[in-house]
A and B are shown apart, each in its own frame.
Chain A
């Protein structure tokens, strides 16, 4: 579940940014006179180009909307998503319940709205965890090299070699065996944990190769020659320059993690009641797909729109940070 284009371009991106800067400096590009005072930084440049992209605007608006929904679901619905009324079971969409009712007579619209929170929390925290853990390990492995790198890389390989869905199923059934029921916080954290454990090697590899490249740059060599401490070199010189590729990976990964959470919940090993989750809703709907297609349609649609928004955002950010692809 990793976007190869993100990982591939992430590696090259940093050197590209360097090239772009030098090209600008020499005024070698036909359009770029050096004296027109438009010497923008990579990030400034990226921001200007982002604002011009409709795909960025659309995805940003959707994500903003979803965030508000996750924070204040009460703004969108006053119906309790867990209130079940069996007499309403499987009723199709109507003015009362826009998305209809599910098998147990719960309001699907309210459940879709309340389901945003779990998806976003899992997506954001899993991304944060993956990026933090992977980056840290990758930075140290790339910077120190040698046996430390060898050990850390093999260690990452161990987790990378595990098939994702299968690995998550095993981890989750170990910590969360069928039949037990824990509070929502514990369930959510177990899902996040299993995603992080299985996907940190990806960010680790991106960061490691970025750190290896950065280490060869003259300014880092100069800082070393001047006696800067390793921590200072890592945090002041390497980290800022390796940020772009990891950022791009992170925003695309966020979307795929949300989809992954839904998959695990769908398989019955991820989120479960009392947490309201789209994956569980889809799983509930699968047997009734012929009689009550709306039960599948709305949560699946919400899931697709959410994942789409984050993948599009990641796309836009990558294109903006990658000047050569413009």
Chain B
């Protein structure tokens, strides 16, 4: 197990470097003069540009630039924006909101998705099954931004049940509706995955054995069937946290949440390369770490998996 973790961590290094380099390359290759409009109406003075180019190592070849950036990053330094604000501060202001939103979404996804999946998976064909199948189809087919506007208009503006936009401090309660919107597509996937997994395992020989043993129905389902069906669902939920955080950008825009989405948009518009790279780097780290955790969790859930 220890050796497996070590090997996986080693594998993460090239992926981490590759992903961050790719983003760095794309961001710093953004066409246009990054100093246009930074000094009011007039073009920036030569001396200011020279200082900035020096500060951001912009005269070095791209590889060297990236190397220096990575070195700072490893020391926990995300760099500064052109105006001198610490990117670390910007990120630490925006990230907690997005993480809260993603966690709420994950909770919705897990609760509603798994319950719907279990109900339909167990019962098999029938009204409930069709209802869930059709509603998951709709959830998948309607993009998040449409769902977002519908929820905002109907529940926020017309019925007044929720606040149409989220306040600056973005409390847990305020994030419930946006979290639901963010979860909508994944929720449908979780429901279907759970349903398929249960429907498949329902006919498994070991479930038949549990029935033949005379174990009560609730144990056959609750212990033997669900335990085995949980494996793919847990895997999906684990890897989805990173995707939810990355995908939160749309939901944040609709409900006016001050998370990383807004930060990225503003930074791209102002060509603040360090901020964009910093945000994406953190997302990549979340994604990679969650993947590793899921792989390790797999061993706990399924004893047949051997790490060597």
Q: Which residues of A contact B (CB under 8 A)?
A: 1, 3-5, 8-9, 154-155, 157-159, 161-167, 169-171, 173-174, 177-178, 255-256, 259, 262-263, 266-267, 282, 286, 289-290, 293, 296, 300, 303-305, 307-308, 311-312, 315, 324-325
CB neighbours (8 Å) of B18 from chain A are 154-155, 157-158
Q: Is B242 an interface residue (CB 8 A)?
A: yes
CB neighbours (8 Å) of A267 from chain B are 249-250, 253
User: Do residues B243 and A163 form an inter-chain contact, with CB atoms below 8 A?
Assistant: yes
Q: Roughly how many angstroms separate A311 CA and B141 CA in the complex, as a whole number?
A: 7
Most buried by B among A162, A164, A296, A308: A162
Contact with A along B121-162 (1 / 0, CB 8 A): 000000000000000011011111110010011000100000
User: Do residues A170 and B189 form an inter-chain contact, with CB atoms below 8 A?
Assistant: no
Closest 7 CB pairs of A and B: A163-B246, A158-B18, A308-B141, A307-B141, A259-B143, A157-B15, A300-B146
User: Do residues A169 and B31 form an inter-chain contact, with CB atoms below 8 A?
Assistant: no
CB neighbours (8 Å) of A308 from chain B are 137-138, 141
CB neighbours (8 Å) of A159 from chain B are 19, 22
CB neighbours (8 Å) of A155 from chain B are 18
CB neighbours (8 Å) of B145 from chain A are 262-263, 266, 282
CB neighbours (8 Å) of B276 from chain A are 170
Q: Is B222 an interface residue (CB 8 A)?
A: no
Within the complex, what minimum Cβ distance (angstroms) separates B208 from chain A?
A: 15
User: Do residues A170 and B146 form an inter-chain contact, with CB atoms below 8 A?
Assistant: no
Q: Which of B246-284 contact A (CB under 8 A)?
A: 246-247, 249-250, 253-254, 264-265, 268-269, 276, 279-280, 283-284
Q: Which residues of B contact A (CB under 8 A)?
A: 11, 14-16, 18-19, 22-23, 26-27, 29-32, 137-138, 140-146, 149, 152-153, 157, 185, 189, 192-193, 196, 199-200, 232, 236, 242-243, 245-247, 249-250, 253-254, 264-265, 268-269, 276, 279-280, 283-284, 287-288
Within the complex, what minimum Cβ distance (angstroms) separates B106 from chain A?
A: 15
Within the complex, what minimum Cβ distance (angstroms) separates B21 from chain A?
A: 9
Among candidates A162, A177, A315, residue contacting B23 with C-beta atoms closer than 8 Å: A162
Within the complex, what minimum Cβ distance (angstroms) separates B247 from chain A?
A: 6
Say whether chain B's binding surface is mostly helix, strand, loop, or mixed: helix
CB neighbours (8 Å) of A171 from chain B are 26
User: Do residues B245 and A163 form an inter-chain contact, with CB atoms below 8 A?
Assistant: yes
Q: Given A154-B18, A259-B143: A166 and B280 within 8 A (CB)?
A: yes
Within the complex, what minimum Cβ distance (angstroms) separates A28 from chain B?
A: 15
Q: Roughly how many angstroms separate A166 CA and B260 CA in the complex, as a whole number?
A: 10
User: Do residues B246 and A158 form an inter-chain contact, with CB atoms below 8 A?
Assistant: no
User: Do residues A263 and B19 form an inter-chain contact, with CB atoms below 8 A?
Assistant: no
Q: Given A170-B280, A259-B143: A161 and B15 within 8 A (CB)?
A: yes
Q: Given A154-B14, A296-B149: A259 and B19 within 8 A (CB)?
A: no
Given contacts A162-B23, A263-B250, 17 further A-B contacts (CB under 8 A): A3-B192, A4-B236, A5-B189, A5-B196, A155-B18, A163-B247, A163-B283, A164-B247, A165-B247, A173-B268, A255-B141, A282-B146, A293-B153, A304-B138, A304-B142, A304-B146, A308-B137
Within the complex, what minimum Cβ distance (angstroms) separates A181 from chain B?
A: 14
Q: Roughly how many angstroms separate A292 CA and B153 CA in the complex, as a whole number?
A: 12
Q: Roughly how many angstroms separate A234 CA and B27 CA in the complex, as a whole number?
A: 39
Within the complex, what minimum Cβ distance (angstroms) separates A270 from chain B?
A: 12
CB neighbours (8 Å) of A312 from chain B are 137
User: Do residues B287 and A163 form an inter-chain contact, with CB atoms below 8 A?
Assistant: yes
Among candidates A4, A8, A289, A307, residue contacting B143 with C-beta atoms closer than 8 Å: A307
A-B contact pairs, 17 of them (CB 8 A): A3-B189, A4-B193, A4-B236, A9-B196, A161-B284, A163-B242, A164-B243, A164-B247, A169-B265, A170-B27, A174-B27, A177-B30, A263-B143, A266-B143, A267-B250, A303-B143, A304-B138
Within the complex, what minimum Cβ distance (angstroms) separates B120 from chain A?
A: 13
Q: Roughly how many angstroms separate A293 CA and B149 CA in the complex, as a whole number?
A: 11
Q: Which residue of B lies closest to A269 (CB)?
A: B268
Q: Roughly how many angstroms separate A147 CA and B90 CA in the complex, as a whole number?
A: 41
A-B contacts at CB below 8 angstroms, number? 147
Say whether chain A's binding surface is mostly helix, strand, loop, or mixed: helix
Within the complex, what minimum Cβ distance (angstroms) separates B201 from chain A?
A: 12
User: Do residues A170 and B268 form an inter-chain contact, with CB atoms below 8 A?
Assistant: yes
Q: Roughly how many angstroms separate A266 CA and B149 CA in the complex, as a whole number?
A: 12
CB neighbours (8 Å) of B149 from chain A are 282, 286, 289, 296, 300
Within the complex, what minimum Cβ distance (angstroms) separates B281 from chain A?
A: 11
Q: Which residue of B lies closest to A258 (CB)?
A: B143
CB neighbours (8 Å) of B284 from chain A are 161-163
Within the complex, what minimum Cβ distance (angstroms) separates B7 from chain A?
A: 12
User: Do residues B22 and A158 form an inter-chain contact, with CB atoms below 8 A?
Assistant: yes
Q: Given A166-B264, A296-B149: A173 and B138 within 8 A (CB)?
A: no
Among candidates A8, A169, A290, residue contacting B157 with C-beta atoms closer than 8 Å: A290
CB neighbours (8 Å) of B29 from chain A are 174
Q: Roughly how many angstroms separate A5 CA and B247 CA in the complex, as a whole number?
A: 20
Within the complex, what minimum Cβ distance (angstroms) separates A277 from chain B?
A: 13
User: Do residues A162 and B22 form an inter-chain contact, with CB atoms below 8 A?
Assistant: yes
Q: Roughly how many angstroms separate A256 CA and B188 CA in the complex, as a whole number?
A: 13
Q: Roughly how many angstroms separate A255 CA and B140 CA in the complex, as a whole number?
A: 9
CB neighbours (8 Å) of A169 from chain B are 249, 264-265, 268
User: Do residues A303 and B146 form an inter-chain contact, with CB atoms below 8 A?
Assistant: yes
Within the complex, what minimum Cβ distance (angstroms) separates A312 from chain B?
A: 6
User: Do residues A158 and B15 form an inter-chain contact, with CB atoms below 8 A?
Assistant: yes
CB neighbours (8 Å) of A4 from chain B are 189, 193, 232, 236
Q: Roughly how many angstroms separate A163 CA and B246 CA in the complex, as a whole number?
A: 5
Q: Which residue of A lies closest to B27 (CB)?
A: A170
Within the complex, what minimum Cβ distance (angstroms) separates B298 from chain A?
A: 14
